[in-house]
Structure 1
Amino acid sequence: MKIKQSIEKVPGGMMIIPLFFGAVLNTLLPEFGKTFGSFTGALMTGAMPILAVFYVCMGSTIDLKSTPYILRKGGALLGAKILTGAVLAIIASKLLPSGYVEAGFFAGLSVLAIVAAINDTNGGLYMALMGQFGKKEDVGAYSVMSLESGPFFTMATLGIAGLAAFPWQTFVGAILPLLIGMLLGNLDRELRDYLSRAVPVLIPFFAFALGCGLNLGNIVKGGMLGILMGVAVVAISGTVLLLADKLTGGNGIAGLSAASTAGNAAAVPAAIAAVDTSYAAVAPTATVLVATCVIVTAVLVPIVTAWWAKRIGVGGTPAA
């Protein structure tokens, strides 16, 4: 049976499919984890410890010896992403004094969901598109952009918007695993290779644990709203990133290729709620909305990028 291949046919499948199965299990058998306890219960409730290990391993892939071009390009795209999230958070905080919509079609839409969906780029998708339409230096820019991974920038953005006040220890704690991974990976290349191999392996496990905290009713409720959010992520962040790319000497392809939502971004709402309980009520719906954005942006970004490449006369042959 080709289970892995089947899962990977779904955009962000290694994140989405386990998350969905976790939600199904939690909806049909909500006491399953408590009943069996031990390792089974830990597997269903251990998203945070698994994520901590994931961020250490992710950090190990970030190379501090990046060339000046990679630093400039990656820094520009990273900055554009974070700036877009911050501006949208400030606007949304003015329109939503409570931080989320309580009723109507947009019920469940929150500043947390908006920022989490914007802040983190689908690295695999970006590198695949740049490998086809870009150049190898632009592929390498993701080594800088991967600093987006984790809840740190979302926490900072919520703080800027006045929707949260995290103590400095929490900010340090949010980025420390990533920094430890960076340190280890840059001190020892063999250790980097060793830790980096665990990154894709850990994704389905923390996704399943996150899914075990969701209810299918919320997933159905957030479906259409999540689709609209995904379209908005591509349209808004894609425009800003395209401009940032052009300002750093690019042709816009790298910017559009980065206008997606990473699969692990769906873990951010739960991570935020773990340190600020005021977000506990909106975190499940935010997780669903961000997970939907992962799928929608994974479908739309390649289409938009290919259209732009054709428009500016760039071929689709692999980069040298």
Structure 2
Amino acid sequence: MNIKDTIEKVPGGLMVVPLLLGATLNTIDQLHLPFTQSILKALGAAPTDEGFYEFLRIGGFAQELFKDSALVLIALFLFCVGSQMNLKVGGKALKKGVLLTGSKYLGGIAVGFTFAYFFDPISGLFGLSALAIIAGMTNSNSGMFAALTGKFGNRSDVGGLSILAINDGPFLTLVALGVLGTTFPFIAFIAVLLPIGIGMILGNLDPKIREFLKPGESITIPFFAFALGAGMDLSNFFNPDVLAGGLVLAILTFTVSGGLGILVFKLFKEKSFIAPISEASTAGNAAATPAAVAAAAAVAASSGAMTAAEFEAIQSIVPIATAQISISTITTSLLCPLGVILIDRYQRIRGIDGTREDLILGNTHKETEETFVKASNN
């Protein structure tokens, strides 16, 4: 039936489609329709604390996997991601990875700082929170980066992914929120980041462990995405603030990340800008970051380092931030390939082949321009 191929045609499909499916089922659950209530009651389902019957809360393995598993599966996902963070990379790839990671991260927190200064950091302009901005802008789609640089870039572009992968997950977001004034004690960082650290150590100590855990990067995504969706109400997606906020976040991510990436590449004498445009996206797994931040906030609140009001404020924005990040994921997944195609055409007209380490095409500038004119006419 080609179910997987169909899902993957959707930008960020393995994350977005299960998330939307879970959100759809949970939305129906929250309507408490008499028809479903009667069926569940007749089947012997236990009522919720509010006295309703919900098919995502029937207990057993079903509820544990489809409703309550998000944090456990995200932790497993982070463990597997950490195992793939290979720090043994070539010099040029290392340079590009550092430039891309640094520019993307600094751009994200700069926008977050600015937003928090001028607007409400919890629910400001277009319903955006500082959490949604930083999580969405500092996490890039590694799969898309690998695909785009693999086709339009050179080996050192692709190799930069080894460093760029550091921005996967909640680590940089937690650091940025700490800088922005949200109190996270050291134990909260340890509690959330320990799976990444252990995975990274094991993956670098033993290549066989890295290879064994590699499938976990993708296998866990649809499962925790569904569980995240099962905690969301689709009415949030029809909230104009959520839709507008998600689109604004996508535009900010593409323009700021891509623009700063191109700028630092120019400063460090790089001539091809395939890699900066390739990383100007929001990762599909970034939608899990608000939940991870909320988990860290729970640790902070239990230790007394965060007030109950601060914790509740963070908890309240998780569903909206998750929805906005999902919208940004879809939008940037369309913008980045288009941007890479355009920048590749522009560079080739100028005699630069992004797939070559020496970057220079075999023909002259004029011949290159004539070739592209003929190709366009055909």
Aligned twin of 2:21: 21
Aligned twin of 1:215: 233
Q: Relative CO higher for 1 or 2, CA cutoff 8 Å, sep ≥ 6?
A: 1
Structure 1 residue 50 corresponds to structure 2 residue 73: yes
Residues 98-133 of structure 1: per-residue CA shift (max 9 Å, x gap):
5322xxxx4531111111110111011111111111
Contact 2:120 2:129 in 1 (8 A): no
Larger radius of gyration: 2
Between 310-319 and 243-252, the greater mean CA deviation after superposition: 310-319
Query: Of 192, 198, 219, which residue of structure 2 is paired with 1:174?
Result: 192
Residues 158-200 of structure 1: per-residue CA shift (max 9 Å, x gap):
12122x1100111223322112111111111111111012211
* SS of aligned partner of 1:33: coil
Q: Could you say if the C-alpha distance between residues 319 and 7 of structure 1 is closer, same or farther in structure 2, counting changes exceeding 3 Å?
A: farther
Contact 1:133 1:319 in 2 (8 A): no
1:93-104 to structure 2, matched below 5 A, reads 93-101=116-124
Paired with 2:97 and 2:173, the residues of 1 have a C-alpha distance of 18
Once superposed, which parts of structure 1, at least 4 consecutive aligned residues long, lie more than 4 Å away? 314-320
Aligned twin of 2:92: 69
Contact 1:76 1:244 in 2 (8 A): yes
Cα RMSD of the aligned pairs, angstroms, is: 1.8
Displacement after TM superposition at 1:42 (Å): 1.1
Displacement after TM superposition at 1:274 (Å): 2.3
Give the TM-score normalised by structure 2.
0.79
- The AA in structure 2 aligned to 1:62 is M
Structure 1 residue 38 corresponds to structure 2 residue 60: yes
Displacement after TM superposition at 1:319 (Å): 9.0
Displacement after TM superposition at 1:214 (Å): 0.6
Paired with 1:173 and 1:192, the residues of 2 have a C-alpha distance of 22
Structure 1 residue 155 corresponds to structure 2 residue 174: yes
* SS of aligned partner of 1:280: helix
- The AA in structure 2 aligned to 1:12 is G
- Percent identity (aligned): 39
Paired with 2:167 and 2:114, the residues of 1 have a C-alpha distance of 21
Structure 1 residue 259 corresponds to structure 2 residue 294: no
Aligned twin of 1:90: 113
Query: Of 125, 134, 138, which residue of structure 2 is paired with 1:119?
Result: 138
Number of equivalences: 314
Between 276-285 and 92-101, the greater mean CA deviation after superposition: 92-101
Unaligned runs of 5+ in 2: 31-53, 298-310, 359-378
Displacement after TM superposition at 1:249 (Å): 3.6
Contact 2:90 2:159 in 1 (8 A): no
Displacement after TM superposition at 1:71 (Å): 1.6
